[in-house]
Structure 1
Amino acid sequence: MSIRNLDALFAPSSVALIGAGARPGSVGAVIARNLFRSGFAGPVMPVNRRPQTVEGVEVHPDIASLPQAPDLAVIATPPATVPGVIAELGARGTRGAVVITAGLGAAAPDGGKSLRQQMLDAARPHLMRIVGPNCIGIMVPGIGLNGSFAHIAPRKGDIAFLTQSGAMVTAVLDWATTRGIGFSHFVSLGDMADVDFGDMLDYLAADPDTHAVLLYIEAITNARKFMSAARACARLKPVVVIKAGRHTEGARAAASHTGALAGADAVYDAAFRRAGALRVYQMHELFNAVETLALSRPVAGDRLAILTNGGGPGVLATDALIDSGGRLAELSPQTRAQLDKVLPPTWSRSNPVDIIGDAPGSRFADALQAMLQDKGMDAILVLNCPTAIASSSEAAAAVIDTVKGSRRPVFTSWLGDSAAAESRAMFGAHRIPTFFTPEQAIGGFMYMVRHRRAQELLMEVPPSVPEAFTPDTEAANAVIRRVVAEGRPWLSEAEAKSVIAAYGIPIVETRIVATPEAAAQAAAAFKVPVALKILSRDITHKSDIGGVVLNLEGADAVRAAADSMHRHIGTVRPEARLEGFTVQPMVNRAEAYELIVGMVNDVQFGPVVLFGHGGTGVEVINDKALALPPLNMKLAREMMAQTRIFKLMQGFRGKPAVALDDVALCLIKLAQLVADCPEIEELDINPLLADEHGVVALDARIKVAPAAGDGASRLAIRPYPRALEQELQLRDGTRVPIRPVRPEDGPGMHRLFGKMAPEDIRLRFFTPMKTLPAPLAARLSQIDYDREMALVATESTAHDAEALGAVRIAADPDNERAEYAILVRTDMKGRGLGYALMRRMIDYARERGIGEIFGDVLRENHPMLKLCRDLGFTAAPTEDPTVVRMSLPL
């Protein structure tokens, strides 16, 4: 389930409190007080088997005696009673419950089901949704609903706060109340037996009263659902995350470098980034993010101007800005000239704009007015230091009056304690973000910048893959399955290299030999210096125990090194099975960088790809980035850019840049490999040499295990569904290829749009459009295959073939209904392409289990109405008399 029946939880018409009490301080009494005194318009029905009055209302002795079935039940009864209470409520028609009670997770003494599972089993036949157990409750201030035992009622606002921690509820409520911050929803999820973060994100994404979502996360329960929901929500409104337990989960006994580097928290970080969520790390950062999101307008870039009456705070703000990755805005000549007119001659004449300590409110206003007109500034930070000469409150009032009507984001920081209290209150009353210190203000600005960057990554059309590659999946799987069948956890070096070579990743030639003499002969055949390595399925890190010798010249040197290596390893690792040696020519790339690319299978998010600075000191250097597969060129380049070595790879001081596209393509191929081969548990390519000529893998290791399912099913983000690549036959017998849309199809969508008649565009989009907006092109090409599907008909199977038409469906989170849309190039109309595309999409929707397809069509769009009727759709009127809803039950 996802959003089904969540309306009963967060928009109920009636509430029952099971376990209501009158004893002061008891949970049942506090919840009753909150329910009755928060302004909820519907009936609140207390239930308790003991006769009593709660908040002046007679309690009902049991659920059967309630005058009506409540939409929502808040349950605060002993653990053993909860499953029965849920069953009885469900039978009466209740669709939502908040289970405050803790202690349901322990296994039954007799080995039977836990109380938690019994509770879920009781709810399932009635499709009842449950928040909790072990939670403080839920609050929806907009409708006066407070089904919690929180000590403070939140103000009404437009921010939703979701948490697994009850302590966070009280902390955030305390902080927000003193600052006048309000909430649309305040939800304590507790143990998340049913309703989890993914469900809530789906629900809140469609909630018009919620403009931002804050998450306090301890663990994710369903990674794919969370990723789909978070990506969908983050496209519409800011999602801010604080993740607890950053260091407790990361301990891992990993045999590979990738496993050692990819701690659990780093994986969460990669997941949040891919989802477009803004992550913060400390409580005060979360509060600053709340402040900023609640009050600030979106920023367009990272250029900040600073207006201050004190030089020191301006310098501190500048340092914090540069350290955080922001930029100081350049004052335009026009702005500088205007400031010269209104400021004393001693002003700083640069950014930060220091207007001197004696600045009255009018000087703040004049300077700020000039700066607001400068298009080279994405936001302005106004700082004020208290002085005996000028009034801080007067300056605050001047700033407030000046920014009225301006769309430029303005942040403030009035330094001091009691001297600034009145000014801060003034800013809060006028919804202008204000912070205690310049550093906190910079943090608030950078939250907005990072959110904008996350949105751009979600919406940007990635470049095409520089080369199309067709992996030899069968060859790779044959090697892997043989090793799994033999019960071996690790592939040999040669086997690992054959697997990555099957996916088009260049490898250095490697020869396997059994004896030192054979190693000498192989080295002689190469006629160049060689690398000699021990071959053993029991030794993963060969260099750690003297199992690697480099730059050996001549057969005698190789023979002697092999003899010595064999004796030494036999002494330090007597239990290891020594199968021989590998010999490979030394790759002479003096300017190349040693990189590492790899993969590890995370317990929560499945396969995760790693990129970083490689070599033998990889863990010590710890310069790495993680990303969730699948990848494209944009995501691969963004992943590389997170590392320090990426700056070097771009070239400096005459050293040529690395072939960055080749490195990115290697990451894409690796991501495809782990999606295709579910047996792979860990993978290292280290080092991967990279220079201006390309990449080559010198060493590789792969760990495998029997697979529980296919490769795609274990990914947190559903990969490109290659199985849907097919052909359609048109009325004249022409066969055209169709395939799922790819993120790289954004430019193709623009070209398709450009070949459509204006009338066809109007009928499709319900409005005239001369060009296809870039965000819409990205939205049409970057889809979540787990919830949406778009099929594109193309002129040929070439990677850059022109699109002839496209059809798409977008399913609701419960996979019950899906809305369709179709676009056919004007010169292809009348050939049956639209009909064939719709038939194929209907078949796909039926295979996926969707119950109904629907779409809105203009009444004047007679060809589309006829097409729908021919396919079995039925028409129904809508609130708009010009629009007809066409529906097809499946």
Structure 2
Amino acid sequence: MTIRNLKYLFAPCSVALIGASQTPGTIGRVVAGNLFSAGFKGEIFPVSTEFKTIEGVKTYPDVASLPRAPDLAVIVTPPDTIPEMIAQLGKRGTRAAVVLTDGFTNDTDPHHQELNMAMLAAARPHLFRIVGPSSLGVMVPGIGLNASFGHAPPLSGNLALVAQSGTVLTAVLDWGTSQGIGFSKCVALGEMADGDFGDMLDYLAYDYSTQAILLYIEEITGARKFISAARAVARIKPVIVVKAGRHGENVLAPASHTGFPTGSDAFYDAAFRRTGMLRVKDMQALFNAVQTLAVARRVSGNRLAILTNGRSMGVMATDTLIDRGGQLAVLGPDTLDRFNQILPSAWSHGNPVNIMNDAPGSRYGDALEALANDTGTDAVLVINCPSAVASSTEASNAVINTLQDKISTYNRKLVLTCWIGNESALEARRIFTENRIPTYTTPAEAVRGFMQIVRYHKSQEMLMETPPNIPEVFTPDSATAQKIIDGALAENRSWLTVSEAMAVLAAYAIPVVATHEASSPEAAAGLAETIGGPTALKIVSPDIIHKSDVSGVSLNLETPDVVCKNAAAMLERVRHLRPDAHFQGFTVQPMVHRPHAHELIIGMADDALFGPVLMVGHGGMAVEVIGDKALALPPLNMKLAHEVMARTRVYRLLQGYPGMPGANLDSIALTLVKISQLVCDIADIAELEINPLLADAHGVLVLDARIKLVKAICPAIDRLAIHPYPKELEEILNLPDGQTLLIRPIRPEDEPDFQKIFASLSPEEIRLRFLHPMNTMPHTLAARLTQIDYDREMALVVEGKNKEGATELYGLVQLSADPDKERAEFAILLRGDMTGLGLGPMLLRRIIDYAGSQGIGEVFGDVLSENKSMLKLCRVFGFQVTSDGEDPGNKLVSLKL
């Protein structure tokens, strides 16, 4: 389930507290006090067999005696009672519950496990939603709902807080209250038997009272649902996440990987990066993020101007800024001239702008006004140190007055403040908080807050970037690769031989060095003679990961006789050092001389939660010592491949330096894309490692590879955390006039062609199709329509060739489903010169068929009343056409499937 019936959790009209109590120190007493004192306007039904009244309100002995079914039940009774309680509530018509009781899914007691399954079984027939068990509760300050045993109610605001831990939730709320920061929704998920992070994100994405979302995560369930929900909501509003257990060693290192990280946190980090959420490392950073997001505006870059009355504080802020990847703003000539006019002659004459310890409020105001007009500045940090000759409060009032008087100047400029000290700074911080200006206690915290905003907006820009097209035609021979793998599995082998692994890579157009296998030293000599030049000899054993540990590699062997002697010595050495290792033979390869090449590693491991995870980094024998790698979730395109490469240290070397030409970065990125496609296509690949991958200005070449197999029990697509491009939906149409069209799912790379379709439309056609006039298609909208989540959306395009033979898009049909796939909205867009050719009906038929195959219950859309041709088409396909009660000029069309 996703958001179904969650409205009863967050917006109930009535609440039943089952297990209400008046006994001091009990959870039932605390929850009752919170429920009745928070200002909830709906009905509250206490259920208790002990007390006749709770908080002066009549109690009911059981669920059956309630006067009506409550929208929400809050349950604090013992575990054994809960499955039956859920069943009774479901039969009465209740659709949501918060279970505060401990002792279900995380308990090793088989009885508690059975109780958990029984609780879910009781809920299932009624589509009953459960938060918990072991939940602290749910709080919605805007409606006065405090269904929790938290120690204090939160303030009302626009931040949503979702945490697994009740203690973290109360800590954040307590801190928020002290800072005057309020919340829209607060929920402690507990053990997540039903409701989880994906569900909450889907609900909060379209919750108008929530402007930003804060997550405290220990683990997630349902990786694909979580990532789909996170990607959807992160496009709409900020999502900040703290992930605990960053160093927990709860994932074993894959057997084939010398460079793969061993902790699950690296996989979580890859997932968070892919979604566009902002990750922070600890609670202090989360507190800073809460404060910053609550009041901060957007920034266009990372150039910070620092205004201070104390030189040392400006220096410390600068250090933190540079450490975190920010830049000191370079002040323009006009700004410097202005400062020379308004500041004492001893001012710093640069950034940080030191306006001296005796700066009165007027000096702060004048300097801030000048910085706000500086075109080379993205944000301003104002720092105040306590002084015996100037008032900190006067300085804060001057900042406020300047901002208020110059509001039009500051509508695109972020201002952060840091008033240092305790007693002297309290009033100033209060003033800033009341006026919704970010304020911090130290320069480092202030700079971290600024860089959080920068990172967030950079991640949003990355989500909206149009990826480049693949620089060469890439058509994998997946049938050949699968045949090789099937052959190994038929022989009950879990490892491909090196030559088989190379053949699989070659089937995906990845350049590999010619690799031959020999079963004996004599056979290796024979292969060397065939190669006819210097050769490389390597031991082959699935049990030996590090060949160098047993001196299992010999290079630059000039003659067959030398190869034979080296092979015999290598075999004897391996049998002595690793008598347990299964010897499969040798590989013999021609020596490759690429003096300017870098050694890289590319790998893949199959994580239990996230499925295949890709890795790239600095390769070679010292890969573990260097520890330079970055992870990403497939599928990848060229933009994502370049992004993951850029997170490695070796990336700077790959760009070249004096005496060393840069590597062909596109060829490395393309190799990552091809490996991504391989693991998306073939589910039997459990682990993969290419080490080394040589990369230089001429391209890439694989010198060694290992592939581990596990017979798949489900399709490849099912193990992926992100739904890949659905190639199976591609369809070729041959028209009677001889023209050939391709119908296929849309790709992110299609945005330029999508823009061309829009440009071909007349103003009237734009109004009819988009329901309102638009002169241009904004990049953000075009990116949103082309960079879709195939798990929840679909868009089919029609592609053909023009007279010059170039590929063009003629039109598309889009389908966007709600998270529960109950309803999906459709829209059709055709190029201006392609209407009337039957493309519209063809696309509509295919998207209806697709919706039916996905179990979607209804397809609907909005059509202007004057769009007669579209309304006629909808009626032909059986859509019901009704008037829009809110807009007489609009028609609602819907088709039950």
1:697-736 matched pairs, under 5 angstroms = 697-728=702-733, 735-736=740-741
What percentage of residue pairs aligned between the two structures are identical?
58
Unaligned runs of 5+ residues in structure 1 are none
Distance 1:628 1:120 in 2: 32
For the Cα contact (< 8 Å) 1:513–1:582, is it kept in 2? yes
Deviations 1:199-250 (A, max 9, x none): 0000000001101001000111100000000000000000011001111244
For the Cα contact (< 8 Å) 1:106–1:114, is it kept in 2? no
- Which of 634, 638, 643 is residue 643 of structure 2 equivalent to? 638
- Which of 460, 470, 474 is residue 469 of structure 1 equivalent to? 474
TM-score after normalising by structure 2: 0.97
Distance 1:603 1:518 in 2: 41
Distance 2:683 2:663 in 1: 32
- Which of 680, 684, 690 is residue 679 of structure 1 equivalent to? 684
Mean CA deviation greater in 127-136 or 370-379: 370-379
For the Cα contact (< 8 Å) 1:731–1:832, is it kept in 2? no
Deviation for aligned residue 1:488: 1.8
Deviation for aligned residue 1:51: 3.5
Q: Which residue of 2 aligns with 1:762?
A: 767
For the Cα contact (< 8 Å) 1:252–1:259, is it kept in 2? no
Deviations 1:307-357 (A, max 9, x none): 111111111111111110111111111222222221112211211111111
Deviations 1:532-571 (A, max 9, x none): 0012333333222121112222223222211110111111
Q: 1:850–1:730: structure 2 CA closer, same or farther, 3 Å change rule?
A: farther
Q: 1:125–1:242: structure 2 CA closer, same or farther, 3 Å change rule?
A: same
Q: State whether structure 2 residue 551 is matched by structure 1 residue 555.
A: no
Deviations 1:381-428 (A, max 9, x none): 111111111111111111111122222110111111222111111111
Deviations 1:435-476 (A, max 9, x none): 111111010001101101111111111111101211111111
- Which of 545, 551, 557 is residue 540 of structure 1 equivalent to? 545
Q: Which residue of 2 aligns with 1:863?
A: 869
1:242-257 matched pairs, under 5 angstroms = 242-257=242-257
For the Cα contact (< 8 Å) 2:254–2:687, is it kept in 1? no
Q: Which residue of 2 aligns with 1:814?
A: 820
Deviation for aligned residue 1:59: 0.7
Q: Which residue of 1 aligns with 2:160?
A: 160
**Secondary structure in structure 2 of the residue aligned to 1:882:** strand
- Which of 836, 845, 849 is residue 839 of structure 1 equivalent to? 845
**Secondary structure in structure 2 of the residue aligned to 1:630:** coil
Deviations 1:814-861 (A, max 9, x none): 011000011001111111101110011001001111000000111111
Q: 1:515–1:815: structure 2 CA closer, same or farther, 3 Å change rule?
A: same
For the Cα contact (< 8 Å) 1:258–1:683, is it kept in 2? no
For the Cα contact (< 8 Å) 1:258–1:600, is it kept in 2? no
Q: 1:67–1:290: structure 2 CA closer, same or farther, 3 Å change rule?
A: same
Distance 2:735 2:524 in 1: 62
**Secondary structure in structure 2 of the residue aligned to 1:863:** helix
For the Cα contact (< 8 Å) 1:257–1:619, is it kept in 2? no
Q: Which residue of 1 aligns with 2:447?
A: 442
Deviations 1:856-875 (A, max 9, x none): 11111111111111111111
1:4-43 matched pairs, under 5 angstroms = 4-43=4-43
**Secondary structure in structure 2 of the residue aligned to 1:686:** strand
Deviation for aligned residue 1:112: 9.9
Q: Which residue of 2 aligns with 1:418?
A: 423
Deviation for aligned residue 1:172: 1.0
Distance 2:756 2:416 in 1: 42
Q: Which residue of 2 aligns with 1:885?
A: 892
Deviations 1:467-515 (A, max 9, x none): 1211111111111122222222211111111111111110011121222
Distance 2:521 2:821 in 1: 63
Q: Which amino acid aligns with 1:852?
A: E
Distance 1:549 1:106 in 2: 52
Q: Which amino acid aligns with 1:304?
A: L
For the Cα contact (< 8 Å) 1:728–1:738, is it kept in 2? yes
Q: State whether structure 2 residue 486 is matched by structure 1 residue 481.
A: yes
1:184-583 matched pairs, under 5 angstroms = 184-257=184-257, 260-261=260-261, 263-404=263-404, 405=407, 406-407=410-411, 408-583=413-588
Mean CA deviation greater in 821-830 or 331-340: 331-340
Q: Which residue of 2 aligns with 1:825?
A: 831
For the Cα contact (< 8 Å) 1:262–1:610, is it kept in 2? no
Q: Which residue of 2 aligns with 1:126?
A: 126
Distance 2:573 2:740 in 1: 65
Deviation for aligned residue 1:592: 0.5
Q: 1:305–1:174: structure 2 CA closer, same or farther, 3 Å change rule?
A: same
Q: Which residue of 2 aligns with 1:803?
A: 809
Q: State whether structure 2 residue 598 is matched by structure 1 residue 593.
A: yes
For the Cα contact (< 8 Å) 2:142–2:156, is it kept in 1? yes
For the Cα contact (< 8 Å) 1:252–1:260, is it kept in 2? no
For the Cα contact (< 8 Å) 2:330–2:351, is it kept in 1? yes
Q: Which amino acid aligns with 1:71?
A: D
Cα RMSD of the aligned pairs, angstroms, is: 1.7
Q: State whether structure 2 residue 692 is matched by structure 1 residue 692.
A: no
Deviation for aligned residue 1:624: 0.5
1:58-207 matched pairs, under 5 angstroms = 58-105=58-105, 114-207=114-207
Q: Which amino acid aligns with 2:224?
A: R
TM-score after normalising by structure 1: 0.98
Distance 2:25 2:545 in 1: 60
Distance 2:20 2:585 in 1: 75
Distance 1:366 1:106 in 2: 59
Unaligned runs of 5+ residues in structure 2 are none
Q: 1:732–1:45: structure 2 CA closer, same or farther, 3 Å change rule?
A: farther
Q: State whether structure 2 residue 763 is matched by structure 1 residue 752.
A: no
Q: 1:516–1:677: structure 2 CA closer, same or farther, 3 Å change rule?
A: same
For the Cα contact (< 8 Å) 1:215–1:239, is it kept in 2? yes
Q: Which amino acid aligns with 1:501?
A: A
**Secondary structure in structure 1 of the residue aligned to 2:807:** coil
For the Cα contact (< 8 Å) 1:295–1:432, is it kept in 2? yes
Deviation for aligned residue 1:727: 3.1
Q: Which amino acid aligns with 1:848?
A: Q
**Secondary structure in structure 2 of the residue aligned to 1:702:** strand
Distance 1:537 1:770 in 2: 62
Deviation for aligned residue 1:105: 2.9
**Secondary structure in structure 1 of the residue aligned to 2:512:** coil
Deviation for aligned residue 1:52: 2.4
Q: Which amino acid aligns with 2:292?
A: T
Q: 1:307–1:570: structure 2 CA closer, same or farther, 3 Å change rule?
A: same
For the Cα contact (< 8 Å) 2:249–2:262, is it kept in 1? no
Deviation for aligned residue 1:157: 0.4
For the Cα contact (< 8 Å) 1:259–1:682, is it kept in 2? no
Q: 1:259–1:607: structure 2 CA closer, same or farther, 3 Å change rule?
A: farther
Q: Which amino acid aligns with 2:501?
A: A
Distance 2:590 2:712 in 1: 35
Mean CA deviation greater in 8-17 or 301-310: 301-310
Q: Which amino acid aligns with 1:179?
A: Q
- The alignment covers a number of residue pairs equal to 890
Deviation for aligned residue 1:800: 6.9
Q: 1:9–1:259: structure 2 CA closer, same or farther, 3 Å change rule?
A: farther
Q: Which amino acid aligns with 1:223?
A: A
Distance 2:580 2:646 in 1: 43
1:773-784 matched pairs, under 5 angstroms = 773-784=778-789
Distance 1:106 1:313 in 2: 48
For the Cα contact (< 8 Å) 1:258–1:682, is it kept in 2? no
